[in-house]
Structure 1
Amino acid sequence: MSERSISLSLPFIQPAQAQKHITHNEAISTLDTLVQLTVISATSTNAPTDAELGDSYIIPAAANGDWADHADDVATKVEGGWRFATPNLGWQGYVQDQAIVMLFTDQGWGPALGALNNLPELGIGTTADATNPFSAKLNRALWTATEAANGGTGDVVQALNKETSSDDAGFTFQTGYATHAVFGSFGSDTVRLATTTDGTTFKDAFEVDAPSGVLVQPNLPRFRASTNFDNLAAEATWVKVAINQTEFNDQGVFDPATSLFTAPLDGTYAFGGFLAFKRDITSNVRLRGRFVKNGTDEVAGSSNELASQPTHNLTGLGLHTLVHLTAGDTVELQGYFRLGSGYFKADNSVFWGYKIG
């Protein structure tokens, strides 16, 4: 018959053993120490001379004196000295001076949380799976820096590292687990913010070119257009200039058939234009221009008149303005001649605009 138990090495009472109470009491005392193990310290290398009966310690490496050659053992003060218990894998104990739980593994004693390495899956408030090996179901999360006064640097940095430039690193924003936006470097090192309505086709709101740092807005509503014929305007008559050919027309915001810009979204828009002068009967005219909203409303502050008599085929009037529009509002470029009729010259009379906010 074995003299001690396998896990805790508790002494067994042997057949025909004298003074059985000694063996029994030793087993009870050992259980009293190891069950719900609490130790005073795991860093003391010398047995304390003022230890009281029942005080326990985890012995670190390079211990001295009575604790020499007992690294990792649990030492408990008993009458006449120290009792040592050699730990098995999985033993745990609360360390009072560090206020932590320590776990014994094949690497020795260490913080129990330190054993949470190389976990295949981890779920917080929910179940993780192979697709999402780390999952958390919560309402708020906080990352805060360890202050310099507490041994930290005061910084807090989160890194997303991908293997190659053509891989993805970023954030996916979902509603009901359906993707509506992504932010990060997807498929290249260019930083992108993109939206989607079907989870497949994405439209970039902006891109930051990796080599140059230049901000690009590939889907910004904007246009530049001109007229390809001389527009005649009678004296003292406001005329919508027939801007009928586009140089660029992102989001299709300008209609060359109607010479109208239509706001796709609520917001602030910038507009500019140039009315090039071509003589009809005389150059002794005065040239005006303006922007008009929804066909009838002059955009406040956009009306202007050339201060001097225009020069045939050489001069003209420049216009620019900012205006807040509601989705569906239209803007057009209008011209006017005082003291005579005239033309808004082909190719050089232009109209442009874009959303700025």
Structure 2
Amino acid sequence: MSDLSAILSLPYLQPSQAQKHVTHNEALRRLDVAVQLAVTDRDRTIAPGSPAPGDRHIVAPGGSGDWAGADGQVAVWEGTGWAFHLPQPGWRAHVLAEAATLVWSGSAWVADVPAMLDRLGINATADATNRLAVAGDATLLSHDGAGHRLTLNKAEDSDTASLLFQTGWSGRAEIGTTGDDALSVKVSADGSAWTTALSIDGGTGRPEMPGGLVVQGTLGGSAVQAGAGDTTAGRLLKVGAFGLGAGMLPGVESFTGDGSKHCGEVDRTGFFLAATDALDTPLAGGVFHVMHLEGAGEGAAQVALGTFPASAVGAVFTRARAAGSWSAWTRGYGRANLLGPVSQTGGVPTGAVIERGGNANGEYVRFADGTQICTRTLTLSTVAPSNLSAAWTYPAPFSALHVVTAAPDMNTVNSTAPGLTSVGQCAPSNETTTGATIALYRITGLTDFAGGDSAVVRCLAIGRWF
């Protein structure tokens, strides 16, 4: 027969055993730990500094010091040292710091919660019908990293899956599939008589309002436009009114009387589609959506947005009418045409706003207002003991030159014979609209440049390209 019990390893008293009280007391100590097991906490890896006799803790993974090698065990302070008890599968321990009960699975302490509950009440009493009952100021259902879907599933289409809103336990509104698979919204004033305010058919998606629709104002008869061109104030728009939902330039034929579809002869505010056979569009043969804004007297404005061909897609054109005559269409600027080749006719820009380019002679930037900036990093070499020089041909010619300047790279100047203390000004000469000479001079009377000297300068020229 074993000297220890099978479950808690309690020592048995033996026949003719001396000092039986020692064995008996050891068994009592173990029972004192295991029976009604409650521990202070379970997140410590080292023993507390000033424990009281009987203090119990579950040693957290990574125990060290006095608790080294006791991970998961129940540590008990016995007044002079720590005693450790290895739990058996199924042991339960209540953690006071967490107000939670744990179960030893054989390898770890886990929450003592059953895998499935037949009912749950949170601050409320659950019953056979309301198996989940919650009483509180609010209920939060949130995502766990993505979306969140609340599913209400019913067995048959004749059953109900809905959200019921009550006042004093009396129904007032219900949203869901009640008695069929159509989504409905129902309301009640007393919880017994219900009215369907909205029903959406599951097959067609078409909403119906069996109770009718209340509109503040007059609807029907004279409240509806007599035709797409009816501009009577207060009337309900028909399809085609204001150009919405209609074909190309609706009604224009009736304005001109000649059957043409002419952008310039629209005489009422609206949106119109001008296809390839329409006249007076920004680009012949293009397709545009035209917004016409009729003003006072003979004033008007039009905005055209291109949809065909590719060169017109997304392009915006505007023009205005004054004294009976339309101005030319002007293309607006956007990301598609802000940068690109600049051009002009008679001083009026006809291309992009900013053009940037470059070649072996440097880089240039041209603006639609005529401004041009040229830059280059140029290496000067010795042409005379008094200076380093090089010719600069601009990367793009000017029509008028305003300023040419250059600044030396002091690191390269320091490597020349005169060095930093003996060089003077860096200046251009022989400036033309196509190029200039850039030179770096030494101070008169000081050290000359040597034959192999060179220096780097950064050149800038500003002027106009037209």
> TM-score scaled by structure 1?
0.44
Structure number with greater Rg is 2
User: Whose relative contact order is higher, 1 or 2, with alpha carbons under 8 Å and at least 6 apart?
Assistant: 1
> TM-score scaled by structure 2?
0.36
